[in-house]
Amino acid sequence: MSDPATAVDPIRTAFISTAYLGAAVSFILGLRGMTRPETARRGMQFALGGMIAALAGTLVNHEVVAYQWVLLGLVLGSVIGWPLGMKVAMTQMPQRIAISHMFGALAASLVGIAEYWKHHLDGVALERPQMAALGFEVLFGALTVSGSFMAFAKLHELLPGRGITFPFQNAVNLTVFAGTIGLLVYLVVDPTATWAFVAMTVLAFISGFSMVLPIGGADMPVVVSLLNSYAGLAASATGFALGNTVLIIAGALDGASGFLLSVLMSKAMNRSFSNVLFGAFGSAPRASAAQLGAGGEMKEISLEDAATALRYAKNVVVVPGYGLAVAQAQKAVGELAELLEGHGNEVRYAIHPVAGRMPGHMNVLLAEANISHEKMVEMEEINDSFESVDVVVVIGANDVVNPAAKRDPGSPIYGMPVLNVDQARRVLVLKRGKGTGFAGIENALFVEERTSLLFGDAKSTLTRLVSELKAM
């Protein structure tokens, strides 16, 4: 008579294979769904279903011998993850994403470290292909952990948002990273060299810190996306090291999508990866005469005059920026737009691809106020029509509307595509104060003849504008 445990194995194997196949298909459909706002919710549901299937397939694996630790991890993860998902404000979403990358990369790193030491303590030498996958996993995982923490600290203003530099920094960073790669190669040749494994892990952590330290300003969204790609690569390498198919697929999807997103954002800023990683953009805030508008001064406008300008403007374009997120003013914007549209005004929203602190930041904020996605117009579609716009309302945006990117070769953002707000008939800027934007660069738009400014908290200013319009 056959052993019952042996008879169950083919069933268990079939279940795991089916669950992993379903998870892989669901992840791909989830990514596809998230390419369009109308299908994004469905895409998230596919991704959630894929993760449930992947977990179910993993939990029935015969290698799981202590479910109490799995349960403990599930409880701890839920306790940490629930507040991160439900309580974090949209203004802090970029920091939350950076921390999520850190946790994912930390998990991959710890798995790789545990797997290496398990073989070391058992006295079983790893084969070279397995050592290559394991080393790659730990290297990119450790680099992503420290890099993501640095990104979080900069975004959360625990560290200065500008780039922090020192002499020969790029040379030092490249030397440290080259040393890390060299140790990985040595480990592949001699997997028993535990000193090399420890040294490689430490240097990888240092590389993450040193890579993000000189990066600041408008480049942070690209860095966060690139770190997402690194976390995916680490997860994929974990799959190769453990022979786990679903990890390989999920990690590859994450790594490829993060890399492509970084490329697209760099292109949107007319920047190269080398310039993003080694240029220390935003590290030295300064302004040329062209940026300052040759000595021009900002002109403040009264609330009554601003309301009058909006009331009689047939064509209004709103340009949202990070200041909108900080003030949580999206619903006030929606109320203002609804009021103007009730008077027959046309209201649209011009979205720059790197506005805010992460891709799609402004789209999500406006969607929270039930603003139709059809009214959100990408930069390429709206830039040629600003000359016919009666009033542009800039809310908390700075660098993405700075005409210095087009006019001043001495500007750090010269060549970066920006919204052609300066071509509109009139510009109203809602701004907290007279300071510079996240990139630390003065904006000539704010001192131009057709520009007027309303200073103060965006939400409060918009609420008072709505009241003024209702009273007209």
Question: Which residues are known catalytic residues?
Answer: 399
φ/ψ region of 214 (left if φ > 0, alpha if ψ in -120 to 50, else beta) reads alpha
Residue spans of beta strands (DSSP E) within 346-450 = 346-351, 376-378, 391-395, 427-431
Q: Closest Cα partner for 18 from 46, 48, 59, 57?
A: 57
Burial of 322 (0-12, 13-18, 19+ CB in 10 A): buried
Q: What are phi and psi of 403, to 5 degrees?
A: -70, -10
Taking the mean position of all CA atoms in its chain, how far away is CA 76? 25
| pLDDT by position in tens, the chain (length 472) | 344 444 457 888 889 889 999 999 999 999 888 877 778 889 999 999 999 999 888 888 877 777 888 888 889 888 888 887 777 776 677 788 888 888 888 988 998 999 899 888 888 888 888 899 999 999 999 999 998 898 888 877 787 766 677 788 788 888 999 999 999 999 999 999 999 999 999 999 999 888 888 876 557 777 788 888 888 888 888 888 888 888 888 888 888 888 888 777 777 666 666 666 665 544 444 444 344 444 567 888 999 999 999 999 999 999 998 888 878 888 999 999 999 998 889 999 999 887 776 767 788 888 888 888 889 988 889 999 999 999 999 998 888 898 988 888 877 777 788 899 999 999 999 987 665 555 556 788 888 889 999 988 888 999 999 898 888 7
Considering only CA atoms, give the Rg of the chain: 26
Tell me if 401 sits within 8 A of 351, measured CB to CB: no
Q: Which residues of 141-158 are buried (b: 16+ CB within 10 A; e: fewer)?
A: bbbbbbbbbbbbbbbeee
- For domain 303-471, give its CATH number from 1.10.10.60, 3.30.9.10, 3.40.50.1220, 2.40.50.180: 3.40.50.1220
Beta bridge partners of 428: 393, 452
Q: Between the CA of residue 103 and those of 134, 307, 366, 470, what are the distances in Å?
A: 18, 47, 29, 49
Among 360, 319, 310, which Cα is nearest to 338's? Answer: 310
Is residue 37 within 8 A of residue 367, CB to CB? The reply is yes
pTM, entire model? 0.73
**Can you say whether residue 93 is alpha, beta or left, with left for phi > 0 and alpha for psi between -120 and 50 degrees?**
alpha
